[in-house]
């Protein structure tokens, strides 16, 4: 399953809830303000890194670049473009947006 999170983890609990309810082996794609959850040195870094033991985490490059944080992406997070976003949707049999 693909989980899409578009909210900053410092503003809403979407990422937290997603990580609580995503099953092992699922993928999480961070887009829009959600990409802040994929950056180094933040207070959620440990939580996200811990989650990566069970989940594959992706972040949308266009949103990282727009926000000036493309150079501080957490190790282990895969950066994708919109085409990669489409591939993630196609490659997972179901998906959910954590609005």
Partner 1 sequence: MKIGVLVSEGPYTHQASDSAYNFVKAAIEKGHEIYRVFFYHDGVNNATRLTEPPRDDRNIVNRWSELSKQHNLDLVVCIAAAQRRGIMDANEAKRQGKDADNLAEGFRISGLGQLVEAGIQCDRLVTFGD
Partner 2 sequence: MFTSSENIDPDDEGGVIKKFMFVNRKAPYGTIYALEGLEVVLISAAFEQDVSLAFVDDGVYELKKGQDTKALGQKNFSPTYRALEGYDIEKLYVERESMEFRGLTEDDLLVDVQIVSAAEMADLMVEQDVVISF
Q: Buried b vs exposed e over 32-55: b needs ≥16 C-beta within 10 Å?
A: bbbbbbbbeebebeeebeebeeeb
Contact region with partner 1 (CB under 8 A), list: 38-46, 51-59, 68-76, 90-98: 90-98
Contact set for partner 1, span 9-68 (CB under 8 A): 31-33, 62
Kindly state the smallest distance separating residue 85's Cβ from partner 1, in Å.
6
**How many Cβ atoms sit within 10 Å of the Cβ of residue 9?**
24
Kindly state the smallest distance separating residue 66's Cβ from partner 1, in Å.
9
Binding-site residue total for partner 1 (CB under 8 A)? 18
Q: Please calculate the CA angle 44-35-47 and round it to the nearest 5 degrees.
A: 20
Residues with Cβ within 8 Å of 8's Cβ and at least 6 positions away in sequence, in order, are: 33, 34, 36, 37
**What is the x/- site pattern for partner 2, positions 22-51, by CB under 8 A?**
xx--x-------------------------
Kindly state the smallest distance separating residue 10's Cβ from partner 2, in Å.
16
């Amino acid at each position: 399953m693909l989980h899409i999170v578009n909210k900053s983890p410092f503003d809403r609990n979407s990422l937290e809830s997603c990580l609580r309810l995503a099953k092992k082996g699922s993928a999480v794609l961070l887009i829009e303000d959600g990409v802040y959850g994929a950056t180094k040195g933040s207070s959620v870094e440990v939580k996200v890194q811990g989650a990566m033991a069970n989940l594959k985490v992706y972040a949308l490059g266009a949103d990282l670049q727009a926000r000036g944080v493309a150079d501080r992406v957490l190790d282990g997070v895969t950066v994708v473009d919109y085409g990669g976003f489409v591939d993630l949707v196609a490659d997972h049999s179901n998906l959910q947006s954590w609005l």
